[in-house]
Amino acid sequence: MGVASFWHVFEGFMLVESSQSHSWDFGHADHSGSRRPLAFRSAPSHFLPLKTTMFSRLSASKAALKPVATAARIPSLPSSTVRFLSSNAGQAAAQPPLASRTALATASIFTVGSIAWYTHLYGSLPFVGEVHANSPAEDGLHPTAYPWSHNGLLDTFDHASIRRGYQVYREVCAACHSLDRIAWRNLVGVSHTADEARAMAEEVEYQDGPNDAGEMFTRPGKLSDYLPAPYPNEEAARASNAGALPPDLSLIVKARHGGRDYIFSLLTGYVDPPAGVEIRDGMNYNPFFPGGAISMARVLFDGLVEYEDGTPATTSQMAKDVVTFLHWAAEPEHDERKKIGLKAVILFSALTAISLYVKRAKWAGVKTRKILYTPPVDKHH
């Protein structure tokens, strides 16, 4: 490697540290033949010039070391600044912090002024709605957050409660509400055995066809059939409920704000209307329903259902069980999703630990490497 080529490579090792008061000038010849100095600062104790035998081959006339005053080469900077002065970052660091503080103060004043202006115009803080805890208002009372047994990250559905909830739905809710997204086979392994689900399906007559003669016929239900709807169409449903349409319950837990807590509070929240509140005929008062007036009358009463397992059928117990069943109907993959999530957490945690170990092993030699510079030995001495 020639001397000129070497110095082009060596220029990349310029080190700057403002905490030192002197730097070194490695003079070398440029393309015009004149000697052009390179200003260096002393490197920190943990970062010294490269230890190599190339320097021993350079004559003193090609690379002369002489101290140069820092003030003549590099303007004084704060001791914490370690940057090249030729870069924009170094110039920005050298500027006083007055400009940034002014910009921060301006942004703060603008933000506070905007919030004050909005509050003055609309009477409330932005992004914060008014809350009246003691009045139902138009959106209804906010339901209480109940400690459901499947709330935890590793908790699954209470399948005994799902079975009882299906019984409540079948004996109480199915008279008005459909469950279009649930088939008999979905109950197998969750709340009932295959024989129990098949027996319940066969109790229902389904229209099928056409047959070979082109006629429609009825047959007993199969596991592949969906749970029957109480009404043949929407018009029949409205005609039987004074113009109100009972909603399908397949996704009711996800379709209502508050989910399980709202459904439970609605089923157990029927009370007499307070003084001054008028409810027209055919409507019922429920403070959890938006507006307070609901077409559906109270349907759950103590002892209404006789559970197969002997659980006392109180109003709150039946509401809890049917809400658990409806939550499963809206999210049948709930238990499997949590199992897959746990497996994913374990897998990615192991991969992260392995990656950190490999990274430390690979970079340990690089991070602990020290670059040393051994000046050439004067053979005359």
If you count DSSP H runs as helices and E runs as strands, how many of each does the chain have, helices first?
11, 9
Residue of 137, 127, 139, 128 lying closest to 257 (CA atoms): 139
Residue of 300, 329, 318, 358 lying closest to 226 (CA atoms): 329
Residues 241 and 282: their CA atoms lie apart, in Å, by: 10
Which pLDDT band, with edges at 50, 70 and 90, does 348 fall under? very high
Q: Is 296 annotated as a binding residue?
A: yes
- Can you tell me the mean pLDDT for 100-120? 86
Element of type H or E holding 208: strand 205-208
Which pLDDT band, with edges at 50, 70 and 90, does 30 fall under? very low
Residue of 45, 16, 11 lying closest to 26 (CA atoms): 11
Backbone phi, then psi, for 39, in 5-degree steps? -85, 130
Residues 330 and 318: their CA atoms lie apart, in Å, by: 18
Q: Nearest-5° angle of CA 124, CA 126, CA 130? A: 45
Please report how many Cα atoms fall inside a 13 Å half-sphere around the Cα of residue 317, on the Cβ side.
Answer: 15
What is the pTM for the complete model shown?
Answer: 0.61
The two three-digit tokens of residue 194, written as one number: 């295959």
26-30, 325-329, 340-344: segment of lowest average pLDDT: 26-30
Residues 322 and 334: their CA atoms lie apart, in Å, by: 17
Higher pLDDT, 76 or 288: 288
Residues 137 and 289: their CA atoms lie apart, in Å, by: 10
- How far are the Cα atoms of 80, 126, 130, 149, 251 from residue 335, in angstroms, in the given order? 55, 39, 37, 12, 17
Which pLDDT band, with edges at 50, 70 and 90, does 117 fall under? confident
Which pLDDT band, with edges at 50, 70 and 90, does 95 fall under? low
The two three-digit tokens of residue 198, written as one number: 């098949």
Most confident option among 57-61, 100-104, 242-246, 267-271: 267-271
Contact 49, 13 (CB under 8 A): yes
**What are the residues facing 29 on neighbouring strands?**
35
Q: Is 173 annotated as a binding residue?
A: yes
For 71-93, write each residue's pLDDT tens digit. 334 444 444 444 444 444 445 44
According to the model, what pLDDT value does residue 173 have?
A: 96
For 175-206, write each residue's pLDDT tens digit. 999 999 999 999 999 999 999 999 999 999 99
Most confident option among 73-87, 115-129, 271-285: 271-285
Cα 125 to chain centroid, rounded: 26
Residues 359 and 280: their CA atoms lie apart, in Å, by: 72
Mean pLDDT across the chain: 78
Which pLDDT band, with edges at 50, 70 and 90, does 368 fall under? confident
Higher pLDDT, 337 or 59: 337
According to the model, what pLDDT value does residue 365 have?
A: 87
The two three-digit tokens of residue 314, written as one number: 């109180």
The two three-digit tokens of residue 299, written as one number: 């349907």
